[in-house]
Structure 1
Amino acid sequence: MSDSPAPLADPHLVFDPVTGDGPRDVVILGSTGSIGTQAIDLVLRNPDRFRVTGLSANGGRVGLLAEQAYRLRVRTVAVAREDAVPALREALSAQYGAGEPLPEILAGPDAAAQLAASDCHTVLNGITGSIGLAPTLAALEAGRTLALANKESLIVGGPLVKALAKPGQIIPVDSEHAALFQALAAGTRADVRKLVVTASGGPFRGRTKEELTHVTVEDALAHPTWAMGPVITVNSATLVNKGLEVIEAHLLYDIPFDRIEVVVHPQSYVHSMIEFIDGSTLAQATPPDMRGPIAIGLGWPDRVPDAAPAFDWSTASTWEFFPLDNDAFPSVELARHVGRLGGTAPAVFNAANEECVDAFLRGALPFNGIMETVTQVVEEHGTPRTGTALTVADVLEAETWARARARELTAQTATAEARA
């Protein structure tokens, strides 16, 4: 890395949202998941700042969704599963009083995208996985401010998202990228040497590749600092999530991959850092709690008082930093590779990983088999067929191929193990 890097271009996707009087109207996508439930907690504690107008979920937890809708008095509820509508309607009827009108119900695979384009100020996309791409594009096209927790939609559809996003329209909700934004605000872009993205190291920090051979699903889901859904937790165990965040940082801030570093920080207090050309480093730190980044996403440019716990500086603590073990955790370097390739390569990487994580959670693939299979799928995909001319159809076709190929390789692994 050069000692005096060229000045960075102003990021295409960093903030300048328009503020208004009264509560800010918000739509929450993925409301029954980890991000969604924490966002609702924040909203309920700040009714003068936020008003939720719509909620979306997959449809597997209609009781919780109905309870959320009633407590927030939303206009619209959306579910991806059309077969969940009868149960949802029944659950809503049980929450609302006799004669009280129920919220509008949207259903089907396009319901979240339809809700994302509805009349509101901010859309919080807390959906997990690349199925969040369509709602991301819909929110941007409709001119909504997008609080983006669904990193996969930016990663698999990078050029598509950047082509639609106006300056200030996307606010990243990942703790790492919310941290980078806050640290970037302290200096000029020409003074930035590199971004430093922190990783907790997950439950297997310090283990060698050989020691990871026989870890169980229960082991992988036992994250030491964060409480997250199973897919994100496994991605933290493989450090795939950190690879995705490197690609996300590149896309959000237009910074070359060789100027984005990953460092392991087990305490998860420092969420990311900016190193400046004079040798100083600025770190953004809070106790591990996603309500802080969510508050940045929903409330910026204003800060929400007491959104999350602060440090108790009267209590002694130790903060540690370690280099990343790329042999045991090859996912970050593979992510850099697909990020540089661009086109459909990130979509292939992400889709193959989603299939392999699902197989691991079902007991159909060993832990090390996740990255071994993803690597093979990426290699077979080769050079992307499209670059800057990427289309939604290209992304969907690449994802379909990657999922099918990952399933084939997973089945071959299971057969080989059964014969061994």
Structure 2
Amino acid sequence: MAVLGCTGSIGSQTLDVCRRHADRVRVVALSANVSTAALVRAAREFGARHVALADASRATDPVMSELPPTCEIGLGEEAVTELAELPDVDVVVNALVGFVGIHAGYAALKAGKSLAYANKESVVCGGDLLMPLASPGQLLPVDSEHSAIFQCLVGERSEDVSRLWLTCSGGPFFGLSRDELAEVTPERALAHPTWRMGSKITIDSATLMNKGLEVIEAHHLFQVPIDDIRVLVHRQSKIHSMVEFVDGVVKAQLGGSDMRAPIQYALSYPERWEASVRRVDWCGEPDFTFDEADERTFGCLALAKRAGREHGTLPCAMNAANEVANEAFRRGLCGFLDIERSVGAVMDAWDNEEVQSVEQLLEVDRRAREMARAQLGVAL
């Protein structure tokens, strides 16, 4: 297997699963953006034969000389994509962050690899291109919510699905008013109540944009209309999502708040391996609660649903604007509600068209980022 983005949150937890099941998986390729020390440690531990460093300027870091002598080194984003096409790779774990991950996902599917992906932005932006390439069982979701739906659908007929319930922790600001949200800081937004994630996705969780992206992702993955995908706030994060069928029966997938469980299922499917996570003692768990997602207060969720309904290049433009605004907020260059404001402004001004190619989406991404920077008055 190849683990792309091996030093990030999902990538490092994927390597935890690989350690636990070293008799079942062999890591042959790894990539990182700038974290050279962690990349070298992983390459030495797993005996990787190929590594790629997206930021070529870090190739001169002294630690890179400690790579195993038999390890081939590639530099730049193209080298990361090339790992997904290697002949000795069967499974590609795409743990890259943001729209940039679409290149590797597209390459992996075209090369016939199994793709275990946490890079939801690639499906949000390019689902019209990626889904036709995927054979049944080839595209395996790593997100806990989509893994839950995937598991609930095993053995079921798609025509029997009535709607999907995407569960949501509500993030750190559940119950706050818009006036209160206007005052929150990046530090508070990064303090997620239940999940350990990277900084970008943690901010997206705080705005509920992450849940909006997941609605679009579920629409593509499971061929369910946007308005038949409901977001349900479940603060305990033990029910990871549910499927409701035409007869009113609901199937749910439950488990601890640990991403290693859905990662492992993506690697083991259609089998199940011995647990890599702590089992839940359900007798000792607190009562479960459920609430409606507040799209008026957290407008990014409503914006994402709108983009999904209108489809075309609008989801890509929305995602690009959000990535710019998310980073600006993390850097203290704009307020929390400015994320929603700038994304909405870009969407309102967008001239939508049908998706035709990856090259087209790259241009959409570039233009939308420029528009978002102009809206925010930042130079990122």
If the TM-score is normalised by the length of the shorter chain, which range does it land in? over 0.9
Q: What corresponds to 2:243 in structure 1? A: 274
Once the two structures are superposed, the pairs formed by residues 177-326 of structure 1 within 5 Å of their partners are: 177-185=146-154, 187-326=156-295
Deviations 1:223-258 (A, max 9, x none): 000111110000000010000000000000111111
In the alignment, which of 55, 63, 81 is matched to residue 91 of structure 1?
A: 63
Q: Secondary structure of the equivalent of 1:297? A: helix
Task: Determine the C-alpha separation between the residues in 1 that align with 2:130 and 2:339.
Answer: 28
Matched letter for residue 118 of structure 1? L
Task: Determine the C-alpha separation between the residues in 2 that align with 1:279 and 1:302.
Answer: 28
Q: Is the 8 A contact 2:143 2:262 kept in 1?
A: yes
Q: Is the 8 A contact 2:145 2:167 kept in 1?
A: yes
Once the two structures are superposed, the pairs formed by residues 20-419 of structure 1 within 5 Å of their partners are: 26-58=1-33, 60-87=34-61, 90-94=62-66, 96=68, 101-119=69-87, 120-185=89-154, 187-382=156-351, 384-387=352-355, 390-411=356-377
Q: Is the 8 A contact 1:180 1:284 kept in 2?
A: yes
Task: Determine the C-alpha separation between the residues in 1 that align with 2:338 and 2:303.
Answer: 15
| TM-score relative to the length of structure 1 | 0.88
Q: What is the CA distance between 1:357 and its match in structure 2?
A: 0.6
* Aligned residues with identical type, % of pairs: 43
Structure 1 stretches of 4+ moved >6 Å? none
Q: Secondary structure of the equivalent of 2:6? A: coil
Deviations 1:235-293 (A, max 9, x none): 00001000000000000011111111001011110110011222221110101000001
Structure 2: segments with no counterpart, 5+ residues: none
Task: Determine the C-alpha separation between the residues in 1 that align with 2:278 and 2:155.
Answer: 23
Q: Secondary structure of the equivalent of 1:405? A: helix
Structure 1: segments with no counterpart, 5+ residues: 1-25, 414-420
**How well do the aligned residues superpose, as a CA RMSD in angstroms?**
1.4
Task: Determine the C-alpha separation between the residues in 1 that align with 2:80 and 2:65.
Answer: 22
Task: Determine the C-alpha separation between the residues in 1 that align with 2:268 and 2:285.
Answer: 32
Task: Determine the C-alpha separation between the residues in 2 that align with 1:190 and 1:404.
Answer: 42
Q: Secondary structure of the equivalent of 2:27? A: strand
Task: Determine the C-alpha separation between the residues in 2 that align with 1:320 and 1:379.
Answer: 36
Q: Is the 8 A contact 1:93 1:102 kept in 2?
A: no
Matched letter for residue 56 of structure 2? E
Q: Kindly tell me: are residues 45 and 404 of structure 1, through their superposed partners in 2, closer, same or farther at Cα, counting changes over 3 Å?
A: same
Q: Kindly tell me: are residues 110 and 95 of structure 1, through their superposed partners in 2, closer, same or farther at Cα, counting changes over 3 Å?
A: closer
Q: What is the CA distance between 1:144 and its match in structure 2?
A: 0.3
Q: Is the 8 A contact 1:352 1:403 kept in 2?
A: yes
Q: What corresponds to 1:13 in structure 2? A: none
Q: Is the 8 A contact 1:202 1:239 kept in 2?
A: yes
Task: Determine the C-alpha separation between the residues in 2 that align with 1:173 and 1:116.
Answer: 17
Deviations 1:294-321 (A, max 9, x none): 0011111111211222211331421111
Q: Is the 8 A contact 2:343 2:372 kept in 1?
A: yes
Q: How many residues align?
A: 378
Matched letter for residue 66 of structure 2? A
Range with bigger deviation, 319-328 or 275-284: 275-284
Q: Is the 8 A contact 1:92 1:102 kept in 2?
A: no
Deviations 1:89-144 (A, max 9, x none): x4244365xxxx24100111211110011121100000010000000011011110
Task: Determine the C-alpha separation between the residues in 2 that align with 1:166 and 1:315.
Answer: 41
Task: Determine the C-alpha separation between the residues in 2 that align with 1:191 and 1:228.
Answer: 34
Task: Determine the C-alpha separation between the residues in 2 that align with 1:386 and 1:135.
Answer: 22
Q: Is the 8 A contact 2:333 2:378 kept in 1?
A: no
